[in-house]
Homo-oligomer: A and B are copies of this chain.
Amino acid sequence: MTKIKKITLSRPGNSAKFTIIDTDAPCVTNPDDVLIAVHYSGLNFADVMMRLNLYPETPKAPFTPGYEVSGKVLALGSAVEGLEVGDEVMGGCYFGGYSSQVKLSSWQVKKIPENLTLEQGAGFMVSYLSAAFGLFELARVREDDHVVIDCGSGALGAILIKLLRHNGVAKITALTRSQEKLEAIENFGARALTHEQWQMADERADLFINSRGGRSIKSDMKKLSPLGRIVCIGASNMVHQNKVSLFKIVREFIGMELLGRPSVMGLMNSNNGVFGLNVLKLFDEPERIKRLLAEPFFYPVAPKIDSVFPFDQVNQAHEKLGMGRSSGKVLLSWK
């Protein structure tokens, strides 16, 4: 039987390291299956959280992380339409993407659009679906909303800004921690402010996208306009320099889940709303995902690629992402 390579994690935690194993190749068993020779696997911050054992849904170890891949179709089930063996495709998956071959259902797979490279395809799905679900399905953003994004300079920030602009939303403010990243944000097409500048500004958000989690949610909610809404899309504040900081975890967890839980009476008084988004949990909603990946909605924003590591340097790749040293997507290459 053909062997493939998989990256696995045996014990999550502060000193966790990935190992590479050889295993049997998957094969087409259902009429809807698509077998992909993976060229690139995309890393996500959720993978870092999972490695550090901060993610409640981490599967039982040993497991293979990874939510997105790009590559070429190796084999197809009998019912798959619109794809052929050899096609360059990108795919989203609920775990398992750190692998030289993956088997997905056809609704999880999309041909690489003309404006994307094969590399970019591996960094598209999670950011795009997070942005699209958050903005259009949860918040139901409108053209005249003032949208404020707390992760302006990252891969998600770029896609949020471009997707908003494509859909006619003009008033976008994107925030960053560092002065040096302001220009990059402006190039994405948004007004750029530091977090401090936003806090000082006498302005409010109709929609706030919060990716930091923890105590930041409560302070961001204070800057919502009447009838405004916040979409909480991550908890990057829980990680500090690629490590679990127990102090930080406790502080942010207390801030988010004990002291910081939104009061319904408070929401009534301010006429606001709070959404939570975990796009990975929507990977069992084929119909909703299909709609976002099909015309007329689909809009393939090319993600910014920060770096590509050979698959056997997965630990270095994770360190770069976990330390906050990347600006754009970090990929693994299987070529």
A→B interface (CB under 8 Å): 56-57, 133, 137-138, 140, 142, 213, 217, 226-227, 229, 231-232, 256-257, 260-278, 281-282, 285, 288
Q: How far is the CA of A186 from the CA of B274 in the complex (A)?
A: 32
Tell me the minimal C-beta distance from A179 to chain B in angstroms: 30
Of the candidates B57, B260, B268, B282, the one whose C-beta lies within 8 Å of that of A271 is B282
Q: Given the interface contacts A257-B263, A265-B257, does A274 sit within 8 Å of B274 by beta carbon?
A: yes
Chain B residue nearest to A279 (CB atoms) is B271
- Besides A265-B276, A268-B277, 12 more A-B contacts (Cβ < 8 Å) are A56-B265, A133-B227, A226-B285, A229-B275, A232-B268, A256-B265, A261-B261, A262-B264, A266-B276, A269-B276, A270-B281, A271-B275
Chain B residue nearest to A273 (CB atoms) is B275
Q: Is the CB of A213 within 8 A of B276?
A: no
Q: Is the CB of B267 within 8 A of A227?
A: no
Q: List 18 A-B contacts (CB under 8 A).
A: A133-B227, A140-B142, A217-B264, A226-B285, A227-B282, A227-B288, A231-B273, A256-B265, A257-B263, A261-B261, A261-B264, A265-B276, A267-B275, A268-B281, A270-B276, A271-B278, A272-B275, A272-B276
Q: Is the CB of B257 within 8 A of A269?
A: no
Closest 5 pairs between A and B when the two form their complex, measured CB to CB: A267-B276, A268-B276, A273-B275, A261-B261, A140-B140
Tell me the minimal C-beta distance from A268 to chain B in angstroms: 3
Chain B residues contacting A217 (CB-CB under 8 Å) are: 264
Chain B residues contacting A270 (CB-CB under 8 Å) are: 276, 281
Most chain B C-beta atoms within 10 Å of own C-beta, residue among A140, A231, A261, A282: A261
Chain B residues contacting A133 (CB-CB under 8 Å) are: 227, 271
Q: Is the CB of A267 within 8 A of B232?
A: yes
Most chain B C-beta atoms within 10 Å of own C-beta, residue among A137, A257, A273: A273
Chain B residues contacting A275 (CB-CB under 8 Å) are: 229, 267, 271-273
Q: Given the interface contacts A262-B262, A263-B261, A267-B274, does A226 sit within 8 Å of B282 by beta carbon?
A: yes
Tell me the minimal C-beta distance from A58 to chain B in angstroms: 13
Chain B residues contacting A262 (CB-CB under 8 Å) are: 261-262, 264, 274
Q: Given the interface contacts A226-B281, A275-B273, A282-B226, does A213 sit within 8 Å of B140 by beta carbon?
A: no
